[in-house]
Amino acid sequence: MSAAPVVLADGRSLSAAMLRQLFIGQCLVVALHLAWMPPWLLGVALAAAGWRYLQLRDRVPRASILLRLTAVIGVLAALWVEFGSLHGMDGLIGVLLGIYLLKLLETHNRRDARVVICIGFVAMTVAFLHDQGVLMTIGALVAAVWLLQSLVGLAGAAQPASRWRETLWLAGLSLPLMVVLFLLFPRLGPLWSMPQTERAATGLTEEIAPGDIAELSRSAARAFRARFEGREPRPDERYWRVYTLSRFDGERWSRLTPAELARALGRAEERLAVPATRSPFADGAPTRFRAELLLEPDSRPWRPSLGAPLASDVRQRYLTDGTLEGLEPLAGRSLLRLASSGEAPAHADPAGPAWYTRLPEGANPRSRELARRLWREVGGDPQAYLAALMARFGEAPFRYTLAPPRLTGRDRVDEFLFASRAGYCTHYASATAVMARAVGIPARIVVGFLGGERHPDGHYTVRDYDAHAWTEVWLDGAWRRLDPTAAIAPERIEEGPQAVNDADQAYLANAPFSPLRLRDVSWLNRARLEWERLEYRWQRGVVGYQQQRREAVLARLQQWWSEAWARLTTGIRGPLLLVLLVGLGGGLVLALRWGWPRLRARRHEAWLMRRLQAWLARRGQGARPGESPAAHLRRVAARGLAPAPLDEAARAYERLAYARLSEAERQQRRDQLAGACRRIRHQWPRR
């Protein structure tokens, strides 16, 4: 395969082969962003490459400053239309990619090509702001190797074989350093920050109406993953609470932030939310579960917890209602170690019972009348009343469905209880909370997730379709979980939303190509689980490698060294240790006595000249029969191949071979010859 030149015959203009290298590199880098960036950026790349191709064929002139400015303004305007702003993360990344692609219009020499490649490295690194998964890493490695071999080609390696050989050699040399820096170098905080995209890991919102969570059954997006230390929860214990809803306007339930609730109650916010590593509101609560959560990126502060959160490995914001919040949004996947009770919070809420029994005046009159009638029938016993309410839901004609009829009236709880009688978890949780409040039982709705898919290696994956809502009521001095779904559809608790009778109508409706639809095909399901296991281990072990794990690695290395040294010193004592030390000392003396003359011989002029002539011979410039070393070097220099250092080496060798020199002068000439040999290798043409 003939070598394609980097530059044309004029020694300055880039050849079509080099421009093709740069264009392929651009396509590889842009491909890393296509899942988040507009696909028309590939059109920009094709347009810039097409213009340069036609320019090489002398069909169009060089891109003028007016054309380049017009192209830049056009790309910026298109990005503004696409994202609505250029200040967010996606807008800024789009600007970088646009500049990177349009740079090809003004790339004409080696320096321009190196600038394009350097921008490509930056754009490739920025792709990890979107995702840090296995596929992204593999794609980035492919792009990095291609950009590196383009740099090697610009440096003069024209033959494809030599170019790739040197590229792989450089990559191999950098690998050990990369591993050492990754394992041992401390993680530093960012020196600057980029405006983040307002993206959420789940579809949960701060207010819900009956039927809202049913829409999440259509999505297979991953919310978080969890691994337990010790006992794992049973299916009926996997209630992942995210936040509580306490305000009801007759149609929708909404959440108040601690600041809003403090203003509404006239209390200090510090009584409602405390940043700490341990919850100050749950003293004495037993820890039932310890979990390591791998959280997806989320612009909202919520953190899931299996029951009431008790303690975390980093500071979080603990709220009195059992909600756990982070101190800052998650820009990327993050690990959180959390201890929890597995139950509803046992402590009283400072908001007081009056807050959790509020209902809008005059709303849902039929539901209130039903509540008062049931209350009278059970003699005012709260537990008997709630049991009667659950029993009522478990009877026909109430049914559980992922596709409930739409409720449009003002009194939606009345419409559900007396007309449609079909709904999803939010319908039943909302009706239960209203019926409890109607007789003076404090109640609130908890929104979170129920269940999760267990993988063979022991970790759980919780997805959007696992979203769930249930009710908490205040009984006997503690909050109690009350899930009407367990009464109406117990299979939803045990098997997930796909077990509901009409799941085919709504389950994963928005994910037609999701591999979760192929769960019934055993080998495809095994392949999916293996891939998710690999991706989870990558995120947990590589992306999640932080300060604590680095310290653990260093501690293990130190422990290994201490144990090895202890075994050595324990097994070797007394005379044996003395014999070993004497043997080591003697071996060192003999090695120096035998090796030192040979090390000095490596600096001898004859050895240096033989080594240099052999190096020249491997490059097709060997000595002719009967030719002296100095004549050999001068003949090669006359061909314009590193002439200055070759002439210097020839003069230094002749002085060493024929002149009468003192030992100091001879050593100086040897140093001169060695330096000339190094410069010959450095200045030798690549081609």
Catalytic residues: 425, 468, 483
At residue 3, the 3 state secondary structure works out as coil
The C-alpha torsion from 358 through 237 and 272 to 383, rounded to 10°, is 40
Walk across the sheet containing 207-208 and list its strands: 207-208, 253-254, 247-248
- CA dist 193 and 200 (Å) reads 19
User: What tokens were used for 162?
Assistant: 């030599």
Q: Give DSSP secondary structure letters for 562-606.
A: HHHHHHHHHHS-HHHHHHHHHHHHHHHHHHHHHHHHHHHHTTSHH
At residue 110, the 3 state secondary structure works out as helix
The three-state (H, E, C) secondary structure of 467-533, written as one string: EEEEEEEEECCEEEEECCHHHHCHHHHHHCHHHCCCHHHHCCCCCCCCHHHHCCCHHHHHHHHHHHH
| Cβ–Cβ < 8 Å for 378, 384 | yes
Q: Which helix (H) or strand (E) holds 295?
A: strand 289-295
Residue partners of 143: CB distance under 8 A and separation at least 6:
25, 28, 29, 31, 32, 120, 124
- CA dist 515 and 496 (Å) reads 17
| Cβ–Cβ < 8 Å for 347, 268 | no
Crossing angle of the two packed helices 134-154 and 110-126, in degrees rounded to 10? 170
Give CB contacts under 8 A, 24+ apart, made by 44-48: 44/71, 44/75, 44/98, 44/101, 44/102, 45/101, 45/104, 48/101, 48/102, 48/104, 48/105
Residue 504: HSE in the Cβ half-sphere, 13 Å Cα cutoff: 1
- CA dist 114 and 473 (Å) reads 67
User: What tokens were used for 685?
Assistant: 């043409």
- CA dist 671 and 294 (Å) reads 59
Question: Nearest to residue 445, comparing CAs of 663, 244, 672?
Answer: 244
Q: What is the phi-psi region of residue 408: left when phi exceeds 0, alpha when psi lies from -120 to 50, beta otherwise?
A: alpha
Q: From the CB of residue 2, how many other CB atoms can be counted at a distance below 10 Å? A: 7
- CA dist 504 and 520 (Å) reads 14
Residue 373: HSE in the Cβ half-sphere, 13 Å Cα cutoff: 6
